[in-house]
Every structure is written in C-alpha cells, then in structure tokens.
Amino acid sequence: MTIIQSKLERIYESDDYLDGASYTTQACIIGSGCGGATLAKRLTDFGVDVIVLEQGSYVPAAKMDQREINMVGKLYADRAFATASDSSTTLLHGNNVGGASVHYWADSYRTPQDKIDSWQQEYGIKGHGSAELNPAFEKIEKSLNIHEATDPYFNVINQKIRSASKALSWHGHRVPQARKHCTTSGHCMHGCLYDAKQSQMITHIPTAIKQGAQVFANARAGKLVHQGSRVKQVRVDIMDPALNKPSGKTITINADVVAVASGGYSSSYYLMQQGFKKQLPALGKYFSMNPSTMVHSLFDEDIIQWRNIPAAWGIDEYRQRRYQQGQYKEGGYLLMPNQLHPPTLAGMIPGFGEKHQDWMMNAPKIGGTISWIDDIEDELGEIRLKSNGAREVHYPYGEKTQKVLKDSLEKQVVLNFEMGAKKVLIAGVQGIELNSINEMKKLDDVMLTSAGLFLASPHPGGGCRMGEDPKISVVNSEHKVHGWDNLFVADSSVFPSSSSLDPSLSIMGFSYIAADRIVDTLDGLIA
C-alpha cells in the first residue's frame, strides 16, 4: 500500500512523517547546506518541484541558547569530535537544516580569479568561468546582504591585526560578510540567535519553501534505487533526533533527478556507500580541506576574543605560494584573527596542570590568529570507505605541505608580536612558547606531522572532482556523475582543487550553474 501524505508548508520534522509514506518530485536534493539550499532556491525560481532531504535537525533561533557545548552538540556533524585518520585534524561540518552555514563565520568571498582560471585551463572544466559565476555571485550577494566588514565589526583582535598588517606592509582587506543587523554577540559558531547572520536556514531555504519546495529534516538519504543508468528512487531513514540514529521509520522519494549536496566530507562517502567506487575510481580522491594552523598569544590588556564577529580583517599577502629558483619560499595561506570561546580555547591550549591553568586564568587576555592553508595539488587527501562501512578521511601532510605549515606559523608569530603580544604559544602537543621574535628558532622543533599540531578543517572540498575524464574525475562540467543520466553533485566536493579562501560563496555560485544544467536535463526528459 502506498501512503501519501498531505503537503506541509513548513520544514518537516521527525514526528511529521508517516512510516512508509512515498513522495514524488522532479528534483530530490540530498543535503540542505550552501550547496543544497541554494540549488533548491534556484530550481524553484524556475518552477521546478523540489524535495530537500536533510539528515540533521531543524534548529531555528528559538532552539538556540548561546551555550557553546549545547550548540556544538545540536549543530555540528559528529558533535565536532571527528578527526582525520591520524587524529591530527578536527573535521568541522554541518548536520542540521542549513548545514555548516548555520554555524559558519559568514566570510563571503568570490572565487579568486587565479582559481577560476586554473580550474578551466589546468582541469578543463567548462561553463564555470567569470562569465557564468559573476552574475550568480551578484544575485547571491544581494540575497545574503553581503558587504565589507565595517568599523563596528572590529573587536580588539581585529583592530590589532589590521594595524599590524599595515605596519608590516602585508596586504589586507575588510572581509565581506553575510549579515543583516548584526548585534556583534560573537556567537556565530553557535548559530545566530538574532537571525542576523544570513545562513541558508533563514535565506535560501525559506525562499525555496515559499516557492513550493518541501524540506524534510531528520531525513537521511539511504539507498539509491536505479534502472540502468537512471536513478528512480531514494530510500530515506527518518532519524531520531535525540539519539541521532535511524528511528525505524522510512519513506521513499520518487524523483526525475537526484542531486547529492551532502558536503565535502559526505558526498563522495555517500556515493561510495552506493557501491559506485568501482565505476568511478576517482571517488573520494583529490580531497582538500584547507588545514588551519593556529597560534595563541597573550596580551597585557583584555582582548575578549569571543565577542563581536570572528573575522573583520583578513591578510591575503601570502594567499598564493611564492617560489624562488623553483624552490618554495613562502606563502600559500590566508591569515585571519581567530575566535575561540572559552571551552574550545581550553581544548586548544596545549598541556595540562599549572601551565594550562596559567594560560586559562588569563583567558580574557588571550588572542590569536589562524591560517587557511591552500592545499598542495600533489599532496591531497582521500576519503575512504572502511570495511565496517564507516568513513575515513586520510590526509598525508606531505613534505611540501609541511613547509607551508611551518611558514604559516612563522608568519603568525611575526604578526602576533607586531600586534603587541607578550608571549606566543603554538597550538600543538608540544606547547612551544616564544617570549619574543628572537626565539623564532624554536619553530624548528615543531612536529609538523601526525597529531603534532592542533589543526581544524572547516573547508572540505574535492572527492567528487569535476572534469571530463572519468578516470580522474567524478562529475562532468554539467555536475552530472559520469555514466549516469540524472544524478548530480552540487557542493564543494566537485571543486577541482581547493578554493584557497572560505568557500561558501563559491559553493553557492556553482549551485546556480548546477541548477541550469538540471533544468536542461528535466527539459530533456519532458521532450
């Protein structure tokens, strides 16, 4: 018996589903982050009937409480406890309606021109040049109120980093922000209680629903049922939000096209779970994650790094790597102020006992910086499917990457002393402290591999790389999975290489283009 449920004009949650219900739609999108929500918005602009599946919960402002430990549990995938296989890097991504955009910093950069050029010229992708991306960026910047950080967004650490970058003649910029009426509470990473941060949950998702989309929270996509090279149906487990496990209820979605937008850590994993690795050898490969080195520093005055927005000033002087006579010289990362609230700060300050206590007793006076490392193309990582069905994120931290890590730490030490720090602490197991710039030699002892440094990686990409050759890519320039008629991927996992900057706007721009190609496919099915 087919159970058909009447349509709700709000986000569906676990109790709303009838066990065994079946739905039919034109486009089923798996994931509701920047990739999936933007795709839903854009497809509904064209009048396409859409269902969005999101395995996580719907956590609107009314369910937020600004308590870091509660909110990380509610919003972050794996409660933010997952690491790469060598335990060296914390993997940060979303597990909620709106995905990571609900707990991101709202830095909103267009894809740098050098990356757009390289993706076209070196990786051969088509239809994703400035001519296609810029009109999309313009529309998204308008709908997300993206604007350069203004002076009221500058907390003490942002003021210091701006002055220091000017004193050092390191090129910097006001970071573009997706915000409206920001209260500068500093709780961006815990979900915005004021609905000021323009996450997907309060922008593209409500627009898509208004335009007819159905958004299913607590709905994890499982098996893709197909006939030949055509996906026909998605089987869905309804999740128990309290346990974060399947509740036993299931529903099915019959769809003309399916788009996987599960995020950089999950889209390739999802396709591997379907058994696609054999036909798509590049699945999971060419994985990038902008690993981020950090330093903490102690100042004489109060910094209170956890108030106001995280990053108003960014330093792009070293975004691109520089070489001298063929040898790596410096650079390959963006530098930014860091924002850590006391519980995470306590976890990221190395050591135990008295030394740790000394630092944490001075928590209001601690500031610091972070770097987003632009992944090196021949030292990329890989997402793998383990024999027990779990995901493994492997990242090699090769020799070239280690040089960049070291340089990023050196530059952060210079920057923090220029900012007026009295003491600088490298975020890593060894707890290496520098009392002045003259102690730079100490960085020679930093363990740059396997759990030596405390690294975070909130910007995953690759794993379903775009390209025309199915041996070294997973989707073609139309976002269509090689060998399939109606299966698409729309998120950062299609990036041919790391975007080198915070990727949310690039992901959304790509989703605009994916929407055009999906509409073409739907038109083809009708014709």
User: Residues interacting with ligand FAD, by CB under 6 A?
Assistant: 30-36, 53-56, 92-96, 99-101, 103-107, 189, 220-221, 261-264, 266, 270, 458-459, 491-492, 502-504, 507
Identify the CA nearest to 238 among candidates 252, 259, 255, 254: 252
Q: How far is the CB of 18 from ligand FAD (least distance, A)?
A: 19
Tell me the H-state helices in 22-97: 34-45, 68-75
By beta-carbon proximity to ligand FAD, the closer residue of 82 and 304 is 82
Contacts 24+ apart (CB under 8 A), 320-326: 320/114, 320/374, 320/500, 321/374, 321/404
Q: How far is the CB of 245 from ligand FAD (least distance, A)?
A: 14
Q: Which two tokens stand for residue 230?
A: 């055509």
Q: How far is the CB of 472 from ligand FAD (least distance, A)?
A: 22
Q: How far out from the chain centre does Cα 342 lie?
A: 23
Q: How far is the CB of 429 from ligand FAD (least distance, A)?
A: 22
The kind and range of the H/E element at 327 are strand 327-330
Q: How far is the CB of 270 from ligand FAD (least distance, A)?
A: 5
Q: How far is the CB of 292 from ligand FAD (least distance, A)?
A: 10
What are the counts of helices (DSSP H) followed by strands (DSSP E) for the chain? 11, 22
Identify the CA nearest to 115 among candidates 510, 526, 497: 497
By beta-carbon proximity to ligand FAD, the closer residue of 80 and 156 is 80
Q: What is the largest CA-CA distance in the chain?
A: 76
By beta-carbon proximity to ligand FAD, the closer residue of 274 and 430 is 274
By beta-carbon proximity to ligand FAD, the closer residue of 367 and 458 is 458
User: CA end-to-end span of the chain, whole Å?
Assistant: 32
- What is the rounded CA–CA span in Å between residue 460 and residue 457? 7
Number of residues written out for the chain: 527
By beta-carbon proximity to ligand FAD, the closer residue of 56 and 332 is 56
By beta-carbon proximity to ligand FAD, the closer residue of 376 and 494 is 494
- What is the rounded CA–CA span in Å between residue 281 and residue 283? 6
Q: How far is the CB of 341 from ligand FAD (least distance, A)?
A: 11
Q: Residue 434 in contact with residue 71, Cβ under 8 Å?
A: no
Q: How far is the CB of 52 from ligand FAD (least distance, A)?
A: 9
Q: How far out from the chain centre does Cα 276 lie?
A: 24
By beta-carbon proximity to ligand FAD, the closer residue of 119 and 417 is 119
Backbone angles phi, psi at 214, to 5 degrees: -110, 130
By beta-carbon proximity to ligand FAD, the closer residue of 310 and 332 is 310
